[in-house]
Amino acid sequence: MKRLLILNSKGGCGKTTIATNLAGYYASSGTPTALLDHDPQGSSKRWLELRPEHLTKIHGVFAGKPTQAGVTRSFALRVPPETRRVIIDTPASMKRLDMMEMLRGASAVIVPLLPSAIDRHVTLDFLQELSTLCRQMNLEIPLGIVANRVRLNTRSFANLKEILSHIEIPLIAYLRDTQQYVNAAEEGSAIAELKDPAVKKEMLQWTALVYWLETGRIPPHMESLHQDLLQVQA
């Protein structure tokens, strides 16, 4: 069982978008999947409540609420034994001890990042903190960055790629700023589950992201994906 942690101390960077779409991707491919929502706002929980019955079931756990009296935390967070992928949606501004607890069980960490200058600054500081914490805990967890809501032919995205090229944590995917994500969220589905042919380009990035999660390597065709999406964005 792999536990995939979506983590960033900054709010509004797209953690739930990545968590729900990743859960839908795995579920639609036939992988038994669970989605744990640790955010008290319960956005992933609401997404699961909207999910149509004809789509593959995803086991949901709302971990953002206190456990009932007499119920241990581990029991409350249990998932079905057949589960193979656990996607964990986290809140902003987590306490250090809570973050340490989640990191101990993680197979990989995805850090969403918006391309604006403010978001870059805050998230780069968080990445430094996260890397330091993993070293202090003697954890060798793959860390990857997903640029979210990007417009590929803009100066902000070019600046983002240049800045990220100088740090050790790789940029593993970039998700376009498109209405398709809003459409999917409103109906409790993932990009991978939409029937619209227009999402084929988006699926290239999700395939790249899952490739990294499963192999620990950046797809060799990553740069060609960038050029393909530039043509779509134009």
Per the CB < 8 A criterion, the answer to whether 39 and 88 are in contact is no
Q: Cα 134 vs. chain centroid, distance in angstroms?
A: 19
CA distances for 83 relative to 3, 97, 112, 151, 222, angstroms: 10, 26, 24, 35, 30
The predicted structure's pLDDT at residue 69? 55
Q: How confident is the model at residue 219 (pLDDT cuts 50, 70, 90)?
A: confident
d(CA 67, CA 230): 47
Does residue 231 carry a pLDDT above 60? no
Amino acid at 143: L
In the numeric block, which tokens belong to residue 229? Answer: 């999406």
List, for residues 59-77, the tens digit of each pLDDT value.
999 987 666 655 556 656 7
The DSSP secondary-structure symbol of 63 reads T
The average confidence (pLDDT) of the chain is: 88
Does residue 223 carry a pLDDT above 70? no
Return the number of other C-beta atoms located less than 10 Å from residue 216's C-beta. Answer: 11
List, for residues 95-154, the tens digit of each pLDDT value.
899 999 999 989 999 999 999 889 989 999 999 999 999 999 999 999 999 999 998 888
List, for residues 15-64, the tens digit of each pLDDT value.
999 999 999 999 999 999 999 999 999 999 999 999 999 999 999 999 87
pTM of the model: 0.90
Does residue 233 carry a pLDDT above 50? no
2-233: in CATH 3.40.50.300: yes
Torsion of CA 1, 67, 27, 91, to 10 degrees: -90
d(CA 15, CA 93): 13
The predicted structure's pLDDT at residue 136? 95
Q: How confident is the model at residue 78 (pLDDT cuts 50, 70, 90)?
A: confident
The predicted structure's pLDDT at residue 71? 54
Torsion of CA 120, 126, 130, 133, to 10 degrees: 150
List, for residues 175-198, the tens digit of each pLDDT value.
999 999 999 999 999 999 998 888
| C-alpha R_g of the chain | 17
The predicted structure's pLDDT at residue 224? 56
Residue ranges of alpha helices (H) inside the chain are: 15-28, 43-50, 73-76, 96-104, 117-136, 155-164, 179-186, 200-215, 222-233
d(CA 211, CA 146): 13
